[in-house]
Structure 1
Amino acid sequence: MTRQSEEAAAKAGVVVRELREIDEFREVYRLFDQIWHPDPHNAPISVELMIGFAHTGNYVAGAFEASTLVGASVGFRAEGGALHSHVTGAVMGRGVGYALKLHQRDWCQERGLERITWTFDPLVRRNARFNLVKLGAMPEEYLEDFYGAMADAINEGDVSDRLLAVWQVAPEDRGQEVSHVEALPALLASEGERPVIRGVQGDRVLVGTPRDIEALRRTDPAAAKEWRTAVRTVLGGLLGGGGRVIGFTDRGEYVVEVD
């Protein structure tokens, strides 16, 4: 492990390691069940797949606080010298997810892999901030309803639009710093809890996100659906037209460089 990943694990109070035993995979399954509360037919990953992935040289790792599993990540090798990180879940607010991602990056470096990819919901502001700002990954593609209907406590009632994040394994390859964002025009902004698309132009524009989409799905489903449609139209349209996400603001906006 690199010094950075060791420090992150120590700060989170965990030990991160690869998993090999069937009882460990069952622990991961139980942890993911506690995080997502999925329908039994919609589990993020099965014990059998984890066994198969680990046995064939893919990535299955867990973060342990003493003997208690508090985070896990499962990924598989993909074309182009990449690891696709299929699912990662951890207790929130302690840096466990960050420790897992750095361990995953070390694992890829040791095996000569150049990139790590994963998908995330573009409406979940904290995930976008973690991916783009904390890690330095950048979205490269907008994927409409990528997983189809997802029957779990977090995604229920919404379509599964996702952004494909790409994280360069080399530590020096980080997302670029974006300055003076307060002067950029907002193509998609928030008024109250509702999205507003504005007719602005510029070489760089801002695309806003809802303050808390998960809470909004429960309290105002109509507003949540408006946000999904607006972000798909604006951010999806920009990326589909050759635009490039280059950052994420403190206010929860994607910074997009327009082609």
Structure 2
Amino acid sequence: MAEEFTIRPLESRDEFLQCVALQHETWGEDFEERVPPSILQVTQKVGGVAAGAFDAEGRMVGFVFGISGVREGRPVHWSDMLAVRDGVQSQGLGRRLKAYQRAILLDHGIEVAYWTYDPLEAGNANFNINRLAAYPVEYVPNMYGHVPGKLHAGLTTDRFVVEWQLRHPRVEAALAGTPPAESAAAAGTPIVNTELVEGIAVPRVLELPEAAMVRVEIPEDIQRVKRESIESARSWREITQRACLHYMERGHQVLGFQRDIEAHRCFYVLKQL
């Protein structure tokens, strides 16, 4: 039986410090991009979101943080951090935190949110696209440059910029448990950046075909790949970057994400609009 959690704004000094501690727990003690208590506190005063999920004992088990501003003349939100503590994951708490964030932003008159994630992180891709209907709209090579620490070690900090249209019906459907149709409709479409070698998908520089719909493969677990072979991880980065930039620059959009659990393979679905 799933635990009961309360989601609400961070209020006290102790809660702000719990949030900082959870940042370290999630991303490592050498994580240099942590948000300090003072910023967590003032963010809420100017339309931002700094909210936590608390268990029955009042312990923080997750949080969401973001700042609000103006882009092209309209109010927008940049969702900077989302974390759920080990031990309470796979209970839908991440989606609940994002749904809470969405409700707060809509109350503030904000209808679009952005954030970034590593395109090679299959878990994040599945969560963003299939659980939230938040879609990558831009691929930025090495967005943050060299960032010290184990989290980013060995790879360039390529990122997808995600756009979340808060009032779109597909967002409401995804939050209710219905993933985008494109995530299930691309079987048989060409896979453009890998080939099978003894049954294992290997990134390869292939000729990128002209097609209305394509799939770009990423590893099931890039962190495991990094541990086993940093050169293999770098190859995944290079080939995935090339394929995504090629198609997105030609009008394709990421509209789905597939996970083949039995084959241990994962694919972005890109469709020309």
Identify the residue that residue 62 of structure 2 maps to in structure 1: 71
| Kept after mapping to 2: 8 A contact 1:248/1:255 | yes
Q: Does 2:24 align with 1:33?
A: yes
Give the alignment of 1:86-125 within 5 angstroms: 86-91=80-85, 92-125=89-122
| Kept after mapping to 2: 8 A contact 1:188/1:234 | yes
| Kept after mapping to 2: 8 A contact 1:75/1:87 | yes
Identify the residue that residue 52 of structure 1 maps to in structure 2: 42
Q: How far apart are 1:154 and its partner, in Å?
A: 2.8
Q: How far apart are 1:74 and its partner, in Å?
A: 0.9
Q: Does 2:235 align with 1:226?
A: yes
What's the RMSD between the two structures over aligned residues?
A: 2.0
| 1:172-213 CA distance string (max 9 Å, x none) | 144741254122011122543631243333111100001110
Q: 1: distance between equivalents of 2:235 and 2:249?
A: 20
Q: 1: distance between equivalents of 2:4 and 2:101?
A: 17
Aligned length: 249
| 1:91-134 CA distance string (max 9 Å, x none) | 23222211100100111111111112110110000110110011
Give the alignment of 1:154-233 within 5 angstroms: 154-170=151-167, 172-174=169-171, 176-178=180-182, 179-189=184-194, 191=196, 192=200, 194-199=202-207, 200-233=209-242
Q: Which runs of 5+ in 2 are unaligned?
A: 172-178, 261-265
Q: How far apart are 1:159 and its partner, in Å?
A: 1.3
Aligned match of 1:128 in 125, 130, 137? 125
Q: How far apart are 1:11 and its partner, in Å?
A: 5.3
| Kept after mapping to 2: 8 A contact 1:216/1:224 | yes
| Kept after mapping to 2: 8 A contact 1:12/1:96 | no
Task: Check 1:254–1:68 CA distance in 2 against 1; reply closer, same or farther (3 A cut).
Answer: same
After the TM superposition, list the runs of 4 or more consecutive aligned residues in structure 1 that deviate by more than 3 angstroms.
173-176
Q: Which amino acid aligns with 2:130?
A: V
% identical aligned pairs: 26
| Kept after mapping to 2: 8 A contact 1:213/1:224 | yes
Judge which range, 46-55 or 21-30, deviates more: 46-55
- In the superposition, the TM-score normalised over structure 1's length comes to 0.89
Q: Which amino acid aligns with 2:77?
A: L
Q: 1: distance between equivalents of 2:186 and 2:201?
A: 22
Q: How far apart are 1:57 and its partner, in Å?
A: 3.1
Task: Check 1:13–1:225 CA distance in 2 against 1; reply closer, same or farther (3 A cut).
Answer: same
Task: Check 1:28–1:15 CA distance in 2 against 1; reply closer, same or farther (3 A cut).
Answer: same
Question: What SS does the aligned partner of 1:116 have?
Answer: strand
| Kept after mapping to 1: 8 A contact 2:141/2:158 | yes
Q: Which amino acid aligns with 1:102?
A: A
Identify the residue that residue 255 of structure 2 maps to in structure 1: 246
Question: What SS does the aligned partner of 1:187 have?
Answer: coil
Identify the residue that residue 271 of structure 2 maps to in structure 1: 257
| 1:61-107 CA distance string (max 9 Å, x none) | 00011211010111011323221101111123222211100100111
Q: 2: distance between equivalents of 1:44 and 1:18?
A: 18
Q: 1: distance between equivalents of 2:29 and 2:161?
A: 22
Q: Which runs of 5+ in 1 are unaligned?
A: 1-9
Q: Does 2:152 align with 1:148?
A: no
Identify the residue that residue 6 of structure 1 maps to in structure 2: none
Q: How far apart are 1:12 and its partner, in Å?
A: 5.4
Q: How far apart are 1:171 and its partner, in Å?
A: 5.2
Judge which range, 165-174 or 24-33, deviates more: 165-174
| Kept after mapping to 2: 8 A contact 1:70/1:96 | no
Q: 1: distance between equivalents of 2:156 and 2:3?
A: 33
Q: Which amino acid aligns with 1:139?
A: P
Judge which range, 213-222 or 77-86, deviates more: 77-86
